[in-house]
Amino acid sequence: MTTTTALTLGPIEHRLEGIVPDVERAVLEPIIEEIERLKADRNAVVLAHNYMTPDIFHGVADLRGDSLQLARMANETSAEVIVMAGVHFMAETAKITNPDKTVLIPDLRAGCSLAESITGADVRLLKERYPDVPVVTYVNTSAEVKAESDICCTSSNAVQVVESLGTDRVIFLPDQYLGRWVASQTDIDVILWEGSCEVHERFTADELRSYRATHPGIQIIAHPECPPDVLAEADFVGSTSGMISYVKTEIPRQVVMVTECSMSDNVAVEAPRTEFVRPCNLCPHMKRITLEGIRDALETMEHEVVVDADVAVRARRAVDRMLRVTAPAGVK
């Protein structure tokens, strides 16, 4: 297995230079200093999702990425403590695959509307209704739901996972829009659940058409949790990391990232030749994670993520199967 390389964060006084106003830096840098001290004391790393605010993303994240990358990084780090700067299902996924590590989430209220849309009992009922149809579950779900599933997927590998099963039908849970996106990319029949992301479902096709009208030549790149008519307006559809790679490789003159607000703030730092047009839909769950919260989590070692052992073993099968299906070349 490859070994995860933590980011080189550089001297604290330069990390947020040009990223946040100087008056804010004066407040944030002492907190970053405390976090660094605590990370060293606890043998801890901070894993940060792409939706974290720039002070976290550029200030203290040792490893950062989309849901799939975070799941892999959690497996590969040798640190004893993982602080998940992301939402609860991401911390739970890290714990499921690393039962011997301590996984902390700075705020237990950092949930997800998709994870809340379905329970393990719902999945059991679906399996009764569609026996022999495999269940593909988006990682944005609880461990209990993963435990009832045949395989997990993320937004970056959903089509590949669905096609890996060799069946002509799958049950796809719980995001109806990601499910519809997958269905549009494959001949496999997809049975959907009516979950949705409260952030991405707010974008409209009209809104995107008006960006095209007011910004000729603008590139529209969207997350597959958006409704189908929104995705139909996009030049590119991909996971949060897929969207970041698109901007870095295509270097569009102007771009609108149809996803959570902080993405543009974070990517703009590394893409100075691109102008970002920024609609702002915030994820209230992601925004519960703050720099102060990360410091407090490391100080108090709270909140530790705990998953029932039996549920964790069953959920791990579904997560590991996904990781095997989409392993980079040479990784088993």
What residues form DSSP beta bridges with 281?
A: 260
Rounded to whole angstroms, the Cα distance separating 133 from 150 reads 10
Stretch that binds ligand SF4, among 120-128, 267-275, 282-290, 307-315 (CB under 6 A): 282-290
User: Taking CB within 5 to 8 Å according to partner kind, which of ligand 13P, ligand SF4, none is near residue 154?
Assistant: ligand 13P
DSSP string, 254-317: EEEEESBTHHHHHHHHH-TTSEEE---B--TTGGG--HHHHHHHHHHT-PBP---HHHHHHHHH
Nearer to ligand SF4, 39 or 65 (CB): 65
Stretch that binds ligand SF4, among 112-120, 151-159, 248-256, 320-328 (CB under 6 A): 112-120
Residues 155-174 that bind ligand 13P (CB under 6 A): 155
Among positions 56, 183, 199, 268, the unique one binding ligand SF4 when judged by CB under 6 A: 199
Among positions 163, 198, 235, 304, the unique one binding ligand SF4 when judged by CB under 6 A: 198
Report if residue 137 touches ligand SF4, rule: CB under 6 A.
no
Among positions 19, 79, 87, 135, the unique one binding ligand SF4 when judged by CB under 6 A: 87
User: Taking CB within 5 to 8 Å according to partner kind, which of ligand SF4, ligand 13P, none is near residue 113?
Assistant: ligand SF4
Contact (Cβ atoms closer than 8 angstroms) between residue 319 and residue 146 = yes
Handedness of CA 328, 219, 259, 149 (dihedral sign): negative
Report if residue 154 touches ligand 13P, rule: CB under 6 A.
yes
Report if residue 197 touches ligand 13P, rule: CB under 6 A.
yes
Nearer to ligand SF4, 197 or 218 (CB): 197
Among positions 50, 77, 93, 113, the unique one binding ligand SF4 when judged by CB under 6 A: 113
**Residue 198: phi, psi to the nearest 5?**
-65, -15
User: Taking CB within 5 to 8 Å according to partner kind, which of ligand SF4, ligand 13P, none is near residue 149?
Assistant: none
How is residue 34 written in tokens? 């405390």
SS3 (DSSP) at 261: coil
Rounded to whole angstroms, the Cα distance separating 135 from 321 reads 12
Contact (Cβ atoms closer than 8 angstroms) between residue 29 and residue 60 = no
User: Taking CB within 5 to 8 Å according to partner kind, which of ligand 13P, ligand SF4, none is near residue 319?
Assistant: none
The candidate with the shortest Cα–Cα distance to 146, out of 125, 165, 164, 119, is 119
String of contacts with ligand SF4 for each residue 216-255, x by CB under 6 A: ---------x------------------------------
Q: How many CB atoms lie within 10 A of CB 248?
A: 12
Contact (Cβ atoms closer than 8 angstroms) between residue 207 and residue 199 = no
Report if residue 82 touches ligand SF4, rule: CB under 6 A.
no
The candidate with the shortest Cα–Cα distance to 60, out of 258, 253, 295, 241, is 295
Looking up tokens 């494959």 gives: 186
Please give the C-alpha separations between residue 171 and each of 121, 165, 223, in angstroms, as whole numbers. 15, 12, 21
Report if residue 61 touches ligand 13P, rule: CB under 6 A.
no
Among positions 16, 47, 152, 286, the unique one binding ligand SF4 when judged by CB under 6 A: 286
Report if residue 240 touches ligand 13P, rule: CB under 6 A.
yes
Residues 17-36 that bind ligand SF4 (CB under 6 A): none
In what helix (H) or strand (E) does residue 79 lie, and over which residues does it extend? none
* Strand segments (E) across 95-253: 102-104, 135-138, 151-153, 169-173, 189-192, 219-222, 236-237
Among positions 25, 64, 101, 285, the unique one binding ligand SF4 when judged by CB under 6 A: 285
Rounded to whole angstroms, the Cα distance separating 46 from 65 reads 12
Residues 6-25 that bind ligand 13P (CB under 6 A): none
Residues that bind ligand SF4 (CB under 6 A): 87, 112-114, 140, 197-199, 225, 260, 283, 285-286
Residues that bind ligand 13P (CB under 6 A): 50, 66-67, 140, 154-155, 197, 223, 225, 239-240
